[in-house]
Chain A
C-alpha cells in the first residue's frame, strides 16, 4: 500500500494536471487584465492630454486638424440606441409574455427556435438587408437620404429583440406557479393575473433583459455603419444621418495614426468601461435579488 515510488509518481502527475487545468482557468483573468491594460495604455494618454470633458463634450471631430471631440458620435450612439429601445423593448416584452403565458406549447417552442435563429444571424447580414431594403424605403416614403437614425433604430431594434425576449421569457417562466394559481383562485382573469402578478414578479429579470439589450445596442457596430450614413453631425431628426462611437472606430481605424488612433482607443476605452460597469451592475443586482429569496 505504501509502494512509495508509484504513489509519488502518481501524485506528481495528478498535481501537474491540476496545475495545467488551473492555468487554463486563469487565462480568463489574464485576458481581462491584458485588455484593460492595453486599451487604457493606448487611450488614456490622449484623454489626459485633451481632458475628458473636452473629449466627450466637444462636437468638433476633425482629426486632420487635431480636434478630437466625440460629442456628435456620443449623441449619435444615444439617439440610435434610444430609438431602437423605444420600439424593441415593448415588442420584446410582449412577445416574451406571449411565449411564457399565452401561446400553446408547440407555438411557444417554434417561436423560441425562431428567436434563437434571429439571435444567430450576424450583424453584417442585418446591415446588408437594412441597406438594401430599409434605407431605400425610408428614402422613398419619408424623404431624406434614407441612411438615418431611423434606419439604425429599426435594424438595431431587430438585433436586440432576441436578447430582450429570451431573458424576459426566462424571468417570466421562473415566477413560481403558486402566484399565478393564487391569483386565478381569487377570480382574476388571465390578463389581470399577468399584468398584476406575474409581470411584477418578474420585474427584476425583465429589467435585466432591457439593460443587457441596451448594452448590446451600444456595442453594436457593423449593421449600424451600413445604414446610418456615418455623418459626424448631431442628428436633427430621425431622418438625419448620424455616426455612432463604435462606427467611428471601425471606419477610421484603418488609416488612423498617432493621436488620431489614440483618440479612437480612447473612445473604445470609454465604451469598455461603460459596458463593463453596466454588466457588473446587472450581475450584482441579480445576485442580490437572489440572496433576498428573490426571483
Chain B
C-alpha cells in the first residue's frame, strides 16, 4: 500500500475506528496511517484515548469486557477485526511493550525465550540464537550476556524495560507498540531507551504513546494529537510542533492545558 508522500509504505491504518466501553464512546472515528519503518508518536492529555487506540492495533482491548469496535483496522491491507482472524498470530506480528516493565518471574534467558517457545520453537540451539539476537538488538547483550540464568527480577528498571523489548523482539514482530515505555524510568535509562528506539525503527515500525512532548519531539517522525477520543491532528513531528494547524493542538503544546 502506498502513500502519495515519499513512496512510504503504510504498515497499519485505521478507518473510521470507533470504540465503546459498554455505552461510553472512547474513540470517535479515528482515521490514521502508520508508516512503515517510522516512529509514530501519540500524544495528548490523560484519558484522551491514545492508549486505547494503541491497544486496538493488537486487539488487546478484546480482553476488556464490554468493548465494541466499529470501523476497521488494517495490517498490510488485511482487516484485523474480522471473525476469522487469528489473534495469536496478530500479536506475534504486532508486539507491545507496556508502561511498567513486567518481567516474568524467570531467568533472563527464560523471559526472552518465552515467546518463541510458545510459538513452537523447540531446539535449544535455535532458542539460544534467538535469545542472543534479541538481547543484542535491545542493547542488553553486553550487560547480561554472561548472566542469562540470573533472575530477571534482579535487574534495574531500565534493564528490565529493555528486557521486555528483547522479549517482544524475540517473536520477530513487524510492528512494536509502546505504551509510555519510559514513564517508570530515570533520565539516563530513558535516553538509552530513546536511542534504542531510533535504532529499532530501521527494522520495525514503531508506535509510541507518550505524555512527554519533548520525548515525542526527540524520537518520532510522525505525531498524532488525541483529545477526548478524537484524533485532532496528525502530521510530521516537526510540523505538528512548530506549525500546528489546529488551535487545540497549539494550546496543548504550549502548555495551556493537559
Residues of A within 8 A of B (CB): 1-4, 6-7, 10
B93 at the binding interface (Cβ < 8 Å): yes
Question: Which residues of A sit under 8 angstroms from B93, Cβ to Cβ?
Answer: 1
Task: Mark interface residues in B1-45 (1 if CB within 8 Å of A CB, else 0).
Answer: 000000000000000000000000000000000000000000000
B84 at the binding interface (Cβ < 8 Å): yes
Apart from A1-B78, A1-B90, what 10 extra A-B contacts exist at CB < 8 Å? A1-B80, A1-B86, A1-B93, A2-B85, A6-B86, A6-B89, A7-B84, A7-B86, A7-B88, A10-B88
13 sampled A-B residue pairs with Cβ under 8 A: A1-B75, A1-B78, A1-B80, A1-B85, A1-B89, A1-B90, A1-B93, A2-B84, A2-B85, A2-B86, A4-B84, A7-B84, A10-B86
Please report whether the interface of chain A is mostly helix, strand, loop or mixed according to DSSP: helix
Give how many A-B residue pairs fall within 8 Å (CB-CB): 23
Query: What CA separation (Å) do A6 and B85 show in the bound complex?
Result: 11
**Interface pairs A-B: 9 shortest CB-CB:** A7-B86, A1-B89, A2-B84, A1-B86, A1-B90, A1-B78, A1-B85, A10-B88, A2-B85
Task: Mark interface residues in B75-101 (1 if CB within 8 Å of A CB, else 0).
Answer: 100101000111011100100000000
Q: Is the CB of B89 within 8 A of A3?
A: yes
User: Which residue of B is nearest A14, CB measured?
Assistant: B88
Query: What CA separation (Å) do A10 and B89 show in the bound complex?
Result: 11
Query: What CA separation (Å) do A7 and B84 show in the bound complex?
Result: 8
User: Which residue of A is nearest B86, CB measured?
Assistant: A7
Shortest distance in angstroms between B72's beta carbon and chain A's nearest beta carbon? 15
Query: What CA separation (Å) do A1 and B84 show in the bound complex?
Result: 9
Shortest distance in angstroms between A13's beta carbon and chain B's nearest beta carbon? 12
User: Which residue of A is nearest B82, CB measured?
Assistant: A2
Question: Which residues of B sit under 8 angstroms from A3, Cβ to Cβ?
Answer: 86, 89
Question: Which residues of B sit under 8 angstroms from A6, Cβ to Cβ?
Answer: 86, 89
Query: What CA separation (Å) do A1 and B90 show in the bound complex?
Result: 6
Question: Which residues of A sit under 8 angstroms from B86, Cβ to Cβ?
Answer: 1-3, 6-7, 10
Shortest distance in angstroms between B89's beta carbon and chain A's nearest beta carbon? 5
Question: Which residues of B sit under 8 angstroms from A4, Cβ to Cβ?
Answer: 84
Shortest distance in angstroms between A292's beta carbon and chain B's nearest beta carbon? 26
